[in-house]
């Protein structure tokens, strides 16, 4: 999980270096990023089913091997084509590792220890996010570009050895056979959806390509649901959506992921382009949010066993809304010291929301369907994060364009400055235009504040809905049922 966490952000700091060293075009750089995301989205659901059927430990080891081998290949690729292919296979490995590592938790930990296990699992991924820019900046300063991929290999080897020697094999002997039509429909629908989400902010939400991608995604995913309802052996148990505790816990988890995805998109640009930090310093300055998240994990571990999941999630969403509302009053002239408190509060709210939500989801899943259920949850979480970046990024861009002053610039420079804060910083540096730099920074902060306000309102709305509609179960009440299901169906291989 640590390797997957920093792999999501380490590439961001290397794009300029890859462009120079590999002579990569903007389109090729985009595919280096997007090839991972598209394969990742496509494989999450079927990976969970295959784990239930073939053995979760076995497939988890295979996923780690693919991720490690692809990282090694990417490190020594001699062109952009090789890097793109390597990234696609890294997405394949990650799509296997993520749901199956989560699905192993109920098999390894008893209910009274599961919250702590989920906190550690979530924390490992979260630690990797700010670690990515820190590690990437240091590696690129001292080594060649391939080191950002090679660093995954020792982490994967260590993880693989731990899985091989410490984890038991689990599978569901009654798992359905591979549902080929359902698999193809889900893969096609998710690829179309993620492609549309990636392209819409660039091309425009009304662009024919974007619209076609969303229409195709809607058709394929609707077809997937229709097929699953009538299939003799569906890959997805749609009855899970009749469990309100499962549904609302999943909504809370997806909401937290969406908000964090948007936050981690706008925050680094603020710290770099507005406050003038380099990549390494930016990674360091995100750490207060991580500290808050770890604090939320500790609080959840102590509170959830006594109160149940619902109160902790509601409090977490309210804390998250408060932190985002606080952040929405940021001004361009504010120093980093004013951001530290709201970063901590946002991290705290995220930990109090995401960890009990994931624990509640695991508690509601039948043990024999842990792989399939985890695949579903991770698919929705990751899609939510991608939607957060796209939607909130579009809001940021719209407010930024409305407020940045480019009327005095030549057409080409005005287009570059109006496109992004990074473009404005480059144009201002080239033209020695202090007024443009100040205007761009102020415009970006106004856009960022709009994003924070929208996120805060969303967190508050979900908190209210959760309080009203999620059933409150007794603490750990799902555990005996889950344990009973496991004793009836789950097969642990010695």
pLDDT of residue 481: 42
Helices 111-142 and 2-10 pack at an angle, to 10 degrees, of 40
CATH number at residue 116: 1.20.1250.20
**Last residue in a domain, options 189, 213, 234:** 234
Tokens of 182: 């359902």
Q: Does the pLDDT at position 354 exceed 80?
A: yes
Coil/strand/helix, residue 87: helix
The string of pLDDT tens digits covering residues 142-190 is: 888 899 899 999 989 998 998 888 888 877 666 667 778 888 898 898 8
Q: Does one domain contain both 136 and 18?
A: yes
Domain that holds residue 85: 1-175
Q: In this structure, are residues 260 and 130 in contact, taking their beta carbons and an 8 Å threshold?
A: no
Beta strand 169-171 with 491-493: parallel, antiparallel or unpaired? antiparallel
Which pLDDT band holds residue 478 (cuts at 50, 70, 90)? very low
Query: How many Cα atoms are found within 13 Å in the side-chain-facing hemisphere of 33?
Result: 22
Mean pLDDT score, 199-204: 78
Confirm whether 494 is domain-assigned: no
Confirm whether 482 is domain-assigned: yes
Q: Pick the residue with more confidence: 445 or 284?
A: 445
Q: Does one domain contain both 456 and 359?
A: yes
Q: Does one domain contain both 301 and 441?
A: yes
Confirm whether 457 is domain-assigned: yes
Confirm whether 493 is domain-assigned: no
E strands present in 304-396:
none
Q: Does one domain contain both 342 and 365?
A: yes
* Percent of the chain as helix, strand, coil, to the nearest 5: 85, 0, 15
The string of pLDDT tens digits covering residues 379-401 is: 787 777 777 777 888 888 889 88
Q: Does one domain contain both 223 and 258?
A: no
The string of pLDDT tens digits covering residues 446-471 is: 999 999 999 999 999 999 999 999 88
Q: Pick the residue with more confidence: 423 or 459?
A: 459
Residues contacting residue 376 through CB under 8 Å, at least 6 positions apart: 45, 48, 236, 240
Confirm whether 385 is domain-assigned: yes
Between CA 93 and CA 90 the distance in angstroms is 5
Confirm whether 464 is domain-assigned: yes
Q: Pick the residue with more confidence: 141 or 224?
A: 224
Domain count of the chain? 3
Q: Does one domain contain both 407 and 467?
A: yes
H helix or E strand, kind and range, residue 313: helix 309-327
Q: Does one domain contain both 348 and 400?
A: yes
Tokens of 432: 């020695």
pLDDT of residue 485: 40
Q: Does one domain contain both 160 and 185?
A: no
Question: Environment class of residue 430 by beta-carbon count within 10 Å: exposed (0-12), middle (13-18) or buried (19+)?
Answer: exposed
**Last residue in a domain, options 129, 147, 175:** 175
Q: Does one domain contain both 120 and 202?
A: no
Q: Does one domain contain both 205 and 280?
A: no
Confirm whether 295 is domain-assigned: yes
Q: In this structure, are residues 302 and 466 in contact, taking their beta carbons and an 8 Å threshold?
A: no
CA-based nearest residue to 419, from 440, 388, 446:
440
Confirm whether 253 is domain-assigned: yes
Q: In this structure, are residues 365 and 489 in contact, taking their beta carbons and an 8 Å threshold?
A: no
- Which of 127-136, 202-211, 440-449 has the least mean pLDDT? 127-136
**Last residue in a domain, options 234, 257, 276:** 234
Q: Does the pLDDT at position 214 exceed 80?
A: yes
Q: Does the pLDDT at position 130 exceed 70?
A: no
Q: Does one domain contain both 368 and 405?
A: yes
Q: Does one domain contain both 160 and 212?
A: no
């Amino acid at each position: 999980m640590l390797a997957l966490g920093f792999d999501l952000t380490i590439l961001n700091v290397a794009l300029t270096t890859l462009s120079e060293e590999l002579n990569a075009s903007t389109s090729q750089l985009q595919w280096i990023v997007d090839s991972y995301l598209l394969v990742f989205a496509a494989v999450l659901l079927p990976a969970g089913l295959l784990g239930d059927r073939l053995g979760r430990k076995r497939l988890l080891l295979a996923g780690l091997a693919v991720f490690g081998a692809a990282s090694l290949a990417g490190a020594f690729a001699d062109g952009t084509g090789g890097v793109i292919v390597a990234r696609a296979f890294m997405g394949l490995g990650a799509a296997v590792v993520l749901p199956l590592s989560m699905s192993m938790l109920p098999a390894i930990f008893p209910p009274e220890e599961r919250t702590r296990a989920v906190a550690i699992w979530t924390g490992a991924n979260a630690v990797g996010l700010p670690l990515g820019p820190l590690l990437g900046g240091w590696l690129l300063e001292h080594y060649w570009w391939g080191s950002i991929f090679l660093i995954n290999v020792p982490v994967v080897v260590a993880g693989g050895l731990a899985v091989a020697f410490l984890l038991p094999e689990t599978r569901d002997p009654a798992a359905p056979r591979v549902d080929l039509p359902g698999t193809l429909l889900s893969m096609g629908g998710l690829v179309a959806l993620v492609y549309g989400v990636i392209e819409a902010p660039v091309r425009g939400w009304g662009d024919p390509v974007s619209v076609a991608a969303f229409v195709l995604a809607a058709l394929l995913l609707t077809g997937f649901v229709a097929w699953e309802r009538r299939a003799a052996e569906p890959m997805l148990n749609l009855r899970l959506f009749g469990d309100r505790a499962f549904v609302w816990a999943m909504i809370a988890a997806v909401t937290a992921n969406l908000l964090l995805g948007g936050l981690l998109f706008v925050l680094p640009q603020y710290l770099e382009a507005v406050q003038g930090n380099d990549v390494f310093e930016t990674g360091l300055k995100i750490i207060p949010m991580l500290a808050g998240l770890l604090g939320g994990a500790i609080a959840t571990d102590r509170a959830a066993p006594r109160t149940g999941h619902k109160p902790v999630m509601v409090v977490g969403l309210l804390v998250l809304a408060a932190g985002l509302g606080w952040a929405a009053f940021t001004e361009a002239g504010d120093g980093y010291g004013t951001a530290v408190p709201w970063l901590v509060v946002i991290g705290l709210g995220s930990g109090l929301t995401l960890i009990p939500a994931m624990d509640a989801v695991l508690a509601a899943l039948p043990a024999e369907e842990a792989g399939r259920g985890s695949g579903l949850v991770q698919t929705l979480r990751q899609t939510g994060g991608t939607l957060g970046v796209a939607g909130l990024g579009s809001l940021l861009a719209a407010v930024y364009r409305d407020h940045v002053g480019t009327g005095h610039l030549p057409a080409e420079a005005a287009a570059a400055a109006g496109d992004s804060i990074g473009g404005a910083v480059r144009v201002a540096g080239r033209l020695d235009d202090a007024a443009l730099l100040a205007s761009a920074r102020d415009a970006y902060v106004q856009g960022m504040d709009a994003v924070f306000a929208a996120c805060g309102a969303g967190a508050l709305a979900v908190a209210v809905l959760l309080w009203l509609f999620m059933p409150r179960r007794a603490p750990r009440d799902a555990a005996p049922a889950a344990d009973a299901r496991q004793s009836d169906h789950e097969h642990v291989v010695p």
